[in-house]
Chain A
Amino acid sequence: VGEPWARAPSSRAASCRQQQPPPPPHRRLSGREKREMQREILALLGLPGRPRPRARPASPSRPGAGAARQQPPSAAPLFMLDLYRAAASQDDEGEREGELGGPWSLAWARGLPRSSAADGADTVMSFVNLVELDRDLFHPKPYWKEFRFDLTPIPAEEAVTAAEFRIYKMQSFSWHGNQTLHISIHEIVQEHRNRESELLFLDLQDFQAQAEGWLVFDISAASNHWLLNRRYNLGLRLYVETEDGQSIDPGLAGFLGRHGPRSKQPFVVTFFRASPSQSRTPR
């Protein structure tokens, strides 16, 4: 193993090495060998080449790293890093106890909402919100907020087991704290010029106006529609109503969108099972 790949040995590894016979002399990997290994790692990840994120996003694990020093990490990477840590610690626990639950069951145990469909997932993918439209107080009722996510990066052969829309709600000071709000999420099925869009109801949840935190909506049905008919991804629409059916501007109810703090911006998470890996040429 050549120098570019070598690392300083940990104390545990070092103590193990003291008891082993001296390793064979290392040799430096040639540029061609390094490129081969890079290709192999990318093949394991199922990637045709190394991804090149457009704006060099801030890394949640390495705050202040590189060019993204000014930008704090956004909500989706933070959530995904929490899932990663849960999965990693569950891998360790499974090895110790000799049993394996769902890949993310520890994450659910830590307070993240549980979805039975997500338990068998091998891959989790988060999507940033691309487009946001508002029908606010300056428009006639009903008020709503629209979001659009591009799920085309999901390979066609993957089976989505669950999808969630996550949005942060601040405390609403415009309404009585103990008032219950009905929040519903709909898939936009078809848009019309002269009349209201056709919607498909997806999920409904009730919250106190003073509640603050992440709200999670099940949008599995919409994600499956979008994957089957990729041209018809028209997004999601969120409505907020009081108990007596009065429409409320989602912004006034405390819902944060693209213009909120980066760590509280809405995103979509999809869980899916990995397709059987393609055979690779052994090295």
Chain B
Amino acid sequence: AARQLRKRQHQKTKHPSHANRLPGSFDDGRVPEGRQVCRRHELYVSFQDLGWLDWVIAPQGYSAFYCEGECAFPLDSCMNATNHAILQSLVHLMKPEAAPKACCAPTKLSATSVLYYDSNNNVILKKHRNMVVKTCGCH
């Protein structure tokens, strides 16, 4: 166990940008059958490519993060998962009709702002709270 813990700590420093990644046997980002574990993905939206820079002042584009992947909880690699999600997975395994499968979802969100012109040349600054996915986890 001590050896495994040291290994985990080493991997944690090696992968600082993905602290929400499930440790242990899934550290390569994929479950044994080639499926992806719950993780944050990035989709960059460029306002320039959309041809919208005549009305969007800032930003020039934004990273739209989303959570995607499968939640699985082997007994020896569940340190990052909530107990509730583990229990839900077990119940789902035994009685699929009683509880849905645990799913990958945002666990931390932050705000983002957009500055743009309207059709009357007025300028609007809109702040959207809880828009940017910071971390993903199993629910």
Contact = CB atoms under 8 A, between A and B. Distances in A.
A188 B13 CA distance: 65
A37 interface: yes
Interface stretch (A38-46, A132-140, A163-171, A251-259): A38-46
Interface stretch (B1-9, B78-86, B95-103, B118-126): B118-126
B126 A274 contact: yes
Given A19-B15, A123-B124, A81 B58 contact: yes
Interface in A72-107: 76-77, 80-81, 83-84, 87-88, 91, 94-95, 103
B29 A21 contact: yes
A80 B122 CA distance: 10
Contacts of B49: 4-5
B32 to A, nearest CB: 14
B87 interface: no
A6 interface: yes
B115 A80 contact: yes
A60 B123 CA distance: 11
B110 interface: yes
A177 interface: no
A103 B29 contact: no
11 contacts: A7-B46, A21-B29, A21-B30, A46-B126, A52-B119, A53-B54, A81-B58, A81-B115, A122-B128, A123-B125, A123-B126
B121 A54 contact: yes
Given A38-B50, A125-B124, A61 B57 contact: yes
Contacts of B15: 19
Interface of B: 14-15, 17-18, 28-30, 42-46, 49-50, 52-55, 57-58, 61, 110-129, 131, 134
Chain A interface residue number, banded: 35 or more
Chain A CB within 10 Å, residue with most, of B115, B118, B125, B128: B125
A274 B50 CA distance: 26
A66 interface: yes
Contacts of B118: 51, 53, 153
A65 interface: yes
A164 to B, nearest CB: 14
Interface in A105-149: 122-128
A1 interface: yes
A84 B122 contact: no
Interface in A246-267: none
Contacts of A46: 126
A87 B110 CA distance: 12
A81 B46 contact: no
Given A13-B42, A16-B18, A123-B127, 19 more contacts: A7-B46, A16-B17, A46-B126, A50-B52, A53-B55, A54-B121, A66-B54, A76-B123, A81-B58, A81-B115, A84-B57, A84-B113, A84-B115, A91-B111, A94-B111, A95-B134, A122-B126, A127-B122, A150-B120
Contacts of A55: 121
Contacts of B122: 76, 125-128, 153
